[in-house]
Chain A
Amino acid sequence: DGGITQSPKYLFRKEGQNVTLSCEQNLNHDAMYWYRQDPGQGLRLIYYSQIVNDFQKGDIAEGYSVSREKKESFPLTVTSAQKNPTAFYLCASKFLEGVGNQPQHFGDGTRLSIL
């Protein structure tokens, strides 16, 4: 079955440590997105990518980095510069316009906590 796989499901970070969250999709979607979900704030966009080797900052990109070396993969690195990284991170993907405006499909998320 096609879908979006995020790993790990739970992740713990020590102070000063970088961690990388994985997102893989086998839906042949063009665009991929990373959101951060905090209670009462909904989903906030961190980064997105519409094409391989290209990505754009979202609303809260500071302290995060991404790469898009392959169409199916969009890993997110939470760097030590992100002072409040404890959150639920969601990856999403979708087809771009051309075949109608498609909804985003979401992974199951990764919950990141600070030790």
Chain B
Amino acid sequence: DAGITQSPRYKITETGRQVTLMCHQTWSHSYMFWYRQDLGHGLRLIYYSAAADITDKGEVPDGYVVSRSKTENFPLTLESATRSQTSVYFCASSEVAEGKNIQYFGAGTRLSVL
């Protein structure tokens, strides 16, 4: 199916464990993004990537690591999960076409850190 696929959709883990959230897109968009969504804060950018092997920090990068060895994949790793990282995580990709910057979102991963 075309689009952005996130996995898993739900994850429960314990404090201190490493967790990787997967994101795959089928369009070959250059830009990809990871956001977290929390009550009262809206969507906040964690990391973004302009192309394969090019990544940069967003607004709230601490405690997260990303990689982008292939254009279509952009995994997000929590190296040592903390309770404050309990959140809903969204992956997105974007394209600029005819002067429009359009964002496309995955369905999200709901992560609980106990």
* Chains A and B bind each other: no
